[in-house]
Structure 1
Amino acid sequence: MASVNRFIQFNNETIDTKMLYQMEMLAGALADAPYLKVTTRKLIELRPKESAISVSVFWRHRSKQVERQGYLSDIYLLSAGFWRNFSLPAWKRFTAESSTVSSLREQLLLCAEEFRLSERIQQDRPGTAEAFAIRQQVYSDYHANQLDQNMKKGFVADAFLNAAYLSLRNSDKGIGAEWEPLLQIWKGLFDARSTADSAAIVGQMTGRLEYLLKSDMVHTYYTFGDTAEKVPPFHYHEGIEADEAEEPEEIETIEEWFHTWHRESEMTESPAMEFELEQGDSQMATGGREEAGADEVQQTARGDSSGEHLEDNDAEDRDMDSGPKRAGGKFGRANEQVVFYEKRLLANDGHSRQIADWRRKQAPHVRALLKELKKRITQRHQDYRTNLNAGRLSKNLLPLALEERPKPFYRKSAPSKELDAVFCLLIDGSASMVDKLDETKQAVLLFHDVLRGLRIPHEIVLFYEDAYEASDREQPNYFEWMHKFEDGSRDHAQEIASFEAHEDNRDGFAIRWMADRVKLRREKHRFLLVFSDGEPSAYNYAENGVADTANAVNETKKDGIELLHLFLSSEPITEEQAAFYRMMYGNKSVSADSLEHFVDQTLRLLKRTLHLVIQSG
């Protein structure tokens, strides 16, 4: 797990996950594409292979209003402008033409289309005017500054693009009289109605630009993203013959381009299944399967489990160890390539003395907490409520004769002393936990002993990703149970003392996986605790991991599950770290300032949550 404190401060960038989630919802709504993802990059980009559009980090480190409106303008341009109103055939024809200033030509066309589409969006959606006004002001100041710098450095092609941008915003700032005829042609964009019109105007300028410029652009102010030529072919699988005479239709818009890639990604794993369904097993025709199963059973055996599992759970445990499961799209788009394994954590011998020492230190705290909680439960437990207007008739009927308004009824209320709650504990099993293992084990053991003492069902699970086996195609993740709901009050201290640190952690996926189990519980109060020592870190799970985790936390809360986060640190937490975890977990994130305080913070968390359970009855 990577630390929040990276060694280069300017690389220590975090994203506002709440705002990014809102932008993603807005982009999906405007484009009518719920699958559309939003990420951040240096420049706005189109990335259909990932079903993603990228907003520009250009807006960072500005006022909150400018940052938000800037991101909104990016979203409007990409999902309400380029999405349906940019012609891919016109773009491909334009970029196929060779030129000594090809980079300038392409960036001029994208600049022209940004201008054309901005005007169109504001006409169709007047509510976008504020965002585009701020965008124009900020970018005008930026290009004016860049124009001066590029002229001083002799980057004339770059300076021309800066001047071209400013001329469309009624700025008089230019780069010389010899460029005025070109800028006059450029202003024909005010009448442009399509990508082809914009391309034609840039085409008129190309010959003169090639003559005046000795070199192409140095900087990149506009980029398209993925190459438009890279469109996936129609997906054939064995058993289906391709019609060679039929040619695929040309893709006209960005929307069709994205949809083609999205459809391809959805079909990636379906051909094998389709082939099995359509073709079957070749042995079936010859009776192969029946022959294979016709042999007599030569020997049977029954194994003997040496673990501490309940007999009722043996079948489920065998299912868990039977093989991997594929996440697909069930656990968030950032985890589509995850395969996960569920199994019991095997206990190692030799921890008995260590467990006894830990419990001896913790015994006063556990006893005091259990005594306090049971006392509170008893106070809420009343056997009888008398002197009521309705209910069961009391044997003492004397008040009927003596009192003007008798209340001879009573109710027998005996609420269960069992707390109507369930707890789950997810433990980060990444490599960075290696120096915190003993303290974490003690905190987990305390958690286990308190809940066992109150007979509250709970689960304790270690989660991690195998970094060495992870790839674009598959990211193996593991869940190892130390204690399960079905285990009741059984003692699994040996398993708790046996867990180890592994490689990476995919927090958003783990939270969704555990929430899926908790949702099946019928208890009134459901709690999910996450013990971790840093930010999410896994294969292709850096920046999008933070957003994915924040989204998982929000989804869990919507399901009525209270999620709490304990940040395990060996030193006092910084304000930057605190803000980072609040961004992911809201105000439900607390920290332990040192290794010695892990157990204390765990005790406080349990005490606070259990008091809430008792008070709410």
Structure 2
Amino acid sequence: MVKLNRFIQFNDESVDVNKLLLYERVGMALADAPYIKLTERKLVEFQPKEGIISLSVFWRHRNEVVTHAGRLSDVYLLTAGFWKCFSVNDWLQFRQNYESHPLKKLAEQMLLLFEEFRLIDKIERSRPGTKRAFSIRRDVMLDYHHDQLTANRQQGFLADAFLNYLFQTIHAGSLSLQPLSWSFPMEQVQMLAMQATDARNTYDMVQLVHRIMFIVEGHIEKDLIRQYYAVGEAITEQNDVFHYHDGMRDAQLGDEETKDTIEELFRTWHRESERETGVHLQYELEHGRAGKGNGTDAVEGNDDAEIHEIGSGTSTGNEKESQAKPMKEEVLSQRPSDFKKAGHDFGKEHLHVIYKEHVLEAKTDSVTIEKLLKWREQQKPFVRSFIEEMKKRIEQKEEYKRTKLSKGRLSADLLTMVVDERPKPFYRKNKPSERLDAVFGLLVDGSASMMDKLDETKKAVLLFHDVLRQLAVQHEISSYYEDANHASKEMQPNVFDILHSFEKTTRDDGATILSLEANEDNRDGFAIRWMMKRLLNQNEKHKFLLVFSDGEPSAFGYDRNGIMDTRAAVMEAEKNGVSVIHLFLATDEPTEEQRALFAMMFGNKSAASTSVEEFSDQTLRILRKLLSIVISQ
């Protein structure tokens, strides 16, 4: 789980998770699509299969105002523009027409350039509040294309230089441009380009590009070197959201309604993926749902059906390369019903997660018992002192008074005996509560990186358990990890090893805690939501969720969005009344980059240890602060 220092520094950059979540919610609202995900890639683009829209890294390394406005303009353009007003059919037909053209890239990029211009104008007219962001975007992009124009002309990249000049023409006007010599009549091209202001839809822009290409194609020999737009890259077919058997394609297409916008492609994928919940479709290779079959014994899918067989395969793409292997023998020996499917209940990043809640068995060998007794003897003075301190605070707490009673303790304010006709100068204190109105959930990172600090972690968890057990405070402790060796794109097995459960508040599970082991990967956002749901089932007023970890999330396909998903899970928990506190278990002093990372994920409720010896001390400090809050309220 510890974040590695990458050789190339720009690959180690992190983004402000709170702002990305803000952009994502703005996008959801504008697109009226709560299922879309947002990420950051080289260029703005859509990925219908994954339900992802991507902002451009172009806006990084600029001042805060420009970065924020640029990213907002990306969101506006993608969700309020291309989402609803870009014709997929016209785009696909256009690409087909230029499939074998020597200037194919130039034609495609020119069309997207014109569509960007049309959609910005359309959005600004319908949503005046977007003008400031688009104004900043326009100024920055004009400077960029001006610089690129000079560089491309010097290097002889005529197609790129032409596209740079075209951008400046339609956004700044031809009169503001410096006259340049071209091998074709640029004045005629500029007159055509200005007609983009009158275009009403994608079809009009397609016709405009055809006319410009007719003029320039005989004068430009080499196609574009650079790529400026990627909006339509993932849209290759009208109905490519599923992979059909060749023999079924015609039948399928005949039953499908033509999808003319990106919004319809996304919604179709989302609608179909919603139908495909349940373990009966957990490892499906092909889709034949709409095809005609001769069988009459079809059975409706059941979400609660058991997994009778688990397939294996490979995954490629943005996820880390991994060969799905047969499950371990001990996993295969488990009943399939022991694994639950996360589905849509734990966040969009965990649709293919299956998980098991496993009560860890305590080791009873002599070495474990001897170590347990030794550690408890070392911690005994700290536990005793802490318990006495908390009990004293409870006793000294000024209880809420019930005043104006006919009998009880005499109040110091006796004016009521003179003023009131029927004076009631007595009061009573409420009876102090016999137990603290709080419940704790502790998640312990079970990833392989915990190996070198496992003993100190166990000591801190044992201290946490002994303090709450003696105060009779309900708590649950669980280790969490993902089976990295057998995770695939279709299935990511996760395990929760429960060390102590809510139902057994005063039970001594010290030996079970010492049985904790380090395993493989960690999926923090999923684990936080899992524990949050368990805490919300408890009746106590104060709910606390502690996370002991030693770095950032790391799991299959989770590297890119793990930080953002963890932050979203923390915000979700806080919104539901569960306070999330993080303790960074470090062997060394955390760096500023690490502190900033944890602040992004957990806000201001993140503490860090400077050495393994401080794990227990930090645990006591956290408990002291949280219990003080409970006692004072």
**Is the structural similarity TM-score above 0.5?**
yes
Contact 1:355 1:493 in 2 (8 A): yes
Q: 1:281 Cα shift? A: 7.4
The match for 1:334 among 330, 349, 373 is 349
Q: 1:478 Cα shift? A: 0.6
The match for 2:518 among 474, 482, 501 is 501
1:366-393 deviation per Cα after TM superposition (whole angstroms, max 9, x unaligned): 11111111111122377x979x641436
Residue 71 of structure 1 corresponds to: 71
Q: 1:8 Cα shift? A: 2.8
Tell me whether 1:161 sits opposite 2:186 in the alignment: no
Residue 253 of structure 1 corresponds to: 261
The match for 2:339 among 319, 324, 327 is 324
Matches within 5 A, 1:392-407: 392=407
Q: 1:577 Cα shift? A: 1.3
Residue 321 of structure 2 corresponds to: none
Moved more, 343-352 or 174-183: 174-183
Secondary structure of residue in 2 paired with 1:487: coil
Tell me whether 1:226 sits opposite 2:226 in the alignment: no
Q: 1:244 Cα shift? A: 7.5
Tell me whether 1:184 sits opposite 2:191 in the alignment: yes
Tell me whether 1:27 sits opposite 2:27 in the alignment: yes
Tell me whether 1:347 sits opposite 2:324 in the alignment: no
Contact 1:4 1:535 in 2 (8 A): no
Secondary structure of residue in 2 paired with 1:49: coil
Contact 2:545 2:581 in 1 (8 A): yes
Alpha-carbon spacing, 1:26–1:586, altered in 2? closer, same or farther (3 Å): same
Secondary structure of residue in 1 paired with 2:546: strand
Contact 1:321 1:343 in 2 (8 A): no
Matches within 5 A, 1:226-305: 226-229=234-237, 231-232=239-240, 246-269=254-277, 272=280, 279=297
1:104-132 deviation per Cα after TM superposition (whole angstroms, max 9, x unaligned): 11001000100011111111111110010
Alpha-carbon spacing, 1:75–1:459, altered in 2? closer, same or farther (3 Å): same
Amino acid at match of 1:328: G
Matches within 5 A, 1:403-482: 409-411=426-428, 413-482=430-499
Residue 216 of structure 1 corresponds to: 223
Q: 1:433 Cα shift? A: 0.9
Moved more, 204-213 or 493-502: 204-213
2 CA distance for matches of 1:148 and 1:363?
74
Gaps of 5+ in 2: 282-288, 301-333
1:160-204 deviation per Cα after TM superposition (whole angstroms, max 9, x unaligned): 111111111224046523341333332321222111111111111
2 CA distance for matches of 1:10 and 1:391?
74
Amino acid at match of 2:218: Y
Contact 2:477 2:500 in 1 (8 A): yes
1 CA distance for matches of 2:493 and 2:529?
16
1 CA distance for matches of 2:378 and 2:160?
69
Amino acid at match of 1:192: A
User: What is the aligned-residue identity percentage?
Assistant: 47
Q: 1:37 Cα shift? A: 1.4
Secondary structure of residue in 2 paired with 1:211: coil
Amino acid at match of 1:105: A
1:295-335 deviation per Cα after TM superposition (whole angstroms, max 9, x unaligned): xxxxxxxxxxxxxxxxxxxxxxxx99951100111100011
Amino acid at match of 1:134: I
1 CA distance for matches of 2:606 and 2:503?
28
Secondary structure of residue in 2 paired with 1:134: helix
Alpha-carbon spacing, 1:145–1:207, altered in 2? closer, same or farther (3 Å): same
2 CA distance for matches of 1:352 and 1:538?
34
Residue 290 of structure 1 corresponds to: none
Q: 1:337 Cα shift? A: 0.8
1:218-244 deviation per Cα after TM superposition (whole angstroms, max 9, x unaligned): 11111123133162478999xx9x977
Contact 1:231 1:261 in 2 (8 A): no
Secondary structure of residue in 2 paired with 1:351: helix
The match for 2:393 among 345, 357, 376 is 376
1:438-491 deviation per Cα after TM superposition (whole angstroms, max 9, x unaligned): 111110011001001101110000001111111111111110100001112111
Matches within 5 A, 1:479-498: 479-498=496-515
Q: 1:498 Cα shift? A: 1.1
Alpha-carbon spacing, 1:234–1:612, altered in 2? closer, same or farther (3 Å): closer
Tell me whether 1:600 sits opposite 2:617 in the alignment: yes
Residue 94 of structure 1 corresponds to: 94
2 CA distance for matches of 1:123 and 1:385?
62
Q: 1:210 Cα shift? A: 2.6
Residue 84 of structure 1 corresponds to: 84
Residue 146 of structure 1 corresponds to: 148
Q: 1:272 Cα shift? A: 4.8
Aligned residues: 568
2 CA distance for matches of 1:233 and 1:46?
13
The match for 2:561 among 540, 544, 560 is 544
Q: 1:347 Cα shift? A: 2.0
2 CA distance for matches of 1:243 and 1:207?
38
1 CA distance for matches of 2:389 and 2:551?
33
The match for 1:586 among 587, 603, 611 is 603
Residue 577 of structure 1 corresponds to: 594
Give me the CA root mean square deviation: 2.8
Matches within 5 A, 1:193-204: 193-204=200-211
1:545-577 deviation per Cα after TM superposition (whole angstroms, max 9, x unaligned): 111100100010011111100011111112221
Contact 1:66 1:134 in 2 (8 A): yes
1 CA distance for matches of 2:545 and 2:116?
46
Residue 43 of structure 2 corresponds to: 43
1 CA distance for matches of 2:159 and 2:24?
35
1 CA distance for matches of 2:348 and 2:243?
22
Residue 300 of structure 1 corresponds to: none
1:328-359 deviation per Cα after TM superposition (whole angstroms, max 9, x unaligned): 11100011111001011122233111112211
2 CA distance for matches of 1:418 and 1:126?
57
Amino acid at match of 2:95: T
Alpha-carbon spacing, 1:445–1:172, altered in 2? closer, same or farther (3 Å): same
Contact 2:238 2:258 in 1 (8 A): no
Q: 1:209 Cα shift? A: 2.9
1:413-444 deviation per Cα after TM superposition (whole angstroms, max 9, x unaligned): 31223111111100011111111101111100
Contact 1:344 1:480 in 2 (8 A): yes
2 CA distance for matches of 1:245 and 1:90?
18
1 CA distance for matches of 2:440 and 2:452?
26
Contact 2:48 2:241 in 1 (8 A): no
Contact 2:241 2:265 in 1 (8 A): no
Q: 1:92 Cα shift? A: 0.9
Q: What TM-score do the two structures reach when normalised by structure 2?
A: 0.84
Matches within 5 A, 1:101-112: 101-112=103-114
Secondary structure of residue in 2 paired with 1:486: coil
Matches within 5 A, 1:526-541: 526-541=543-558
Secondary structure of residue in 1 paired with 2:533: helix
Amino acid at match of 2:39: T
Contact 2:475 2:502 in 1 (8 A): yes
Secondary structure of residue in 2 paired with 1:498: coil
Alpha-carbon spacing, 1:539–1:152, altered in 2? closer, same or farther (3 Å): same
Contact 1:159 1:175 in 2 (8 A): no
Q: 1:579 Cα shift? A: 1.3
1:268-288 deviation per Cα after TM superposition (whole angstroms, max 9, x unaligned): 23695999xx95779xxxxxx
Q: 1:599 Cα shift? A: 1.0
Contact 2:277 2:343 in 1 (8 A): no
